[in-house]
Amino acid sequence: MKGIPKYITISKEIIQKISSGEFQPGDKIPSENELIEIYSISNTTARKSLLEVELQGWAKRIKGKGTFVLNRFEDKHLTRVLGSFNAVKESFTDKLIKEGFTPKNVILEKTILDDGISSNINNRHYIMEGPVLKIHKLRYADETLLKDETKYISMVHCPKINVLDLDSRPLISIYQEKYNLKLINVERTLGNTIFSPREPNNYFENEVPTAIFILDGAIFCDNGKIVEIEQSYYRGDKYKFAITTKPELIKSKVKLKSL
C-alpha cells in the first residue's frame, strides 16, 4: 500500500495552522519557494500543496501577490490589529480581497476644508491646519456595509493629493512614496455606541439597535505634525479588534514604576 503523498501531508499541516488560528484570515501562507526550503521538496510538490489548500477552500491565490487565508468564520467577522504600525500599511480594500470578499467604496463627500480641523485623540487635542482634504466614504464587503469612514488629509504636507487616485494603493504608501514623508507614529482610540435604525446619519441600514465601534486616529510625521486624522464607525457585529504591544515597551514601563 502506497503512503500518503507528500503534498497531502504538507497541505494538511497548513490547514491545521489555519484552523488553529496560527494563520489568520488575510495572512499570507508560505510561498512555493518557502515550502521548498522548509520541507526540502520539489517545485511540483510545493505547487500541489498550495493548490490543495486552495481547493479545500481555506485559501485563495492572488496573482503576483501570493496565497492568502480566506475568512471562514460563520459570522464573517473581521479581525483588525490595533497598536501595530504595520497594520495600517495595508489598504482596507486589499485586506478584504485577501480574505475572499468583494470590496466596494461609495464616496459621500470629497471636499477641501480651508480652515483645517481639530480632534481629540487619546485625551489630547490636535489641530490640523488647512487646507485639509476631507473624504467621507462607505466601505462595503459583499454588499454589506462594514465601515463608515471619514479621513482628513493635510494638503500642507500632501499638496494636490485631491487629484490623485486614492483607491489604487494604501494612503500610507502615497504619503511615503509620493510625498517622501517619514511617518513615525500612529495614535488611535476605540470607543463604542449604539446606532438605532432611524438615527440620523446612520448608513448601516440595521433593523434593530446595533453596537458600533468608534475609531479616532492620527498619523504623525517626524516633525511632529499630523498628516492624517481618521474618524470612523465600524459595524460591531462584524468586527473584532486585536491589540499588540512590544515587549520592550512593557519592560520600560516596569522600570519606570520601580524608580
* Residue-wise pLDDT tens digits, 40-57: 999 999 999 999 999 999
Measured distance CA(37)–CA(103) in Å, rounded: 35
**pLDDT score, position 70:** 95
Q: Does the pLDDT at position 255 exceed 70? A: no
Measured distance CA(236)–CA(148) in Å, rounded: 12
Same domain (yes/no): 135, 211: yes
Same domain (yes/no): 11, 57: yes
147 CB neighbour count, 10 Å cutoff: 22
The pLDDT mean for the chain works out to 89
**pLDDT score, position 198:** 85
Same domain (yes/no): 113, 162: yes
**Residue 175 falls inside a structural domain:** yes
49 burial level (CB within 10 Å; 0-12, 13-18, 19+): buried
Q: Does the pLDDT at position 15 exceed 50? A: yes
The pTM of the full predicted model, rounded to 2 decimals, is: 0.81
Q: Taking every pair of C-alpha atoms in the chain, what is the biggest distance, in angstroms?
A: 77
Is the CB of residue 211 less than 8 Å from the CB of residue 236? yes
Between the CA of residue 95 and those of 48, 78, 102, 184, 238, what are the distances in Å? 25, 10, 10, 23, 14
259 pLDDT band (50/70/90 cuts)? very low
**Residue 253 falls inside a structural domain:** no
Q: Does the pLDDT at position 177 exceed 80? A: yes
**pLDDT score, position 87:** 65
Measured distance CA(101)–CA(94) in Å, rounded: 10
Same domain (yes/no): 89, 183: yes
> What average pLDDT does this structure show over 224-245?
88
Same domain (yes/no): 116, 237: yes
> What average pLDDT does this structure show over 120-124?
83
Same domain (yes/no): 117, 197: yes
Domain count along the chain: 2
> What average pLDDT does this structure show over 82-96?
76
Between the CA of residue 170 and those of 57, 127, 156, what are the distances in Å? 28, 24, 19
Same domain (yes/no): 96, 140: yes
> What average pLDDT does this structure show over 189-196?
92
**pLDDT score, position 258:** 43
**pLDDT score, position 247:** 57
100 CB neighbour count, 10 Å cutoff: 19
Q: Does the pLDDT at position 257 exceed 80? A: no
Same domain (yes/no): 43, 85: no
**Residue 86 falls inside a structural domain:** yes
Measured distance CA(140)–CA(125) in Å, rounded: 31
Helices vs strands, H then E, count in the chain: 6, 12
Same domain (yes/no): 51, 130: no
Question: Could you tell me the residue range of the domain that residue 160 belongs to?
Answer: 78-247
Same domain (yes/no): 21, 148: no
Q: What are φ and ψ of residue 67, in 5° steps? A: -115, 130
> What average pLDDT does this structure show over 13-20?
95
**Over pLDDT 70: what percentage of the chain?**
91
Cell of 40: 526540502
Q: Does the pLDDT at position 173 exceed 70? A: yes
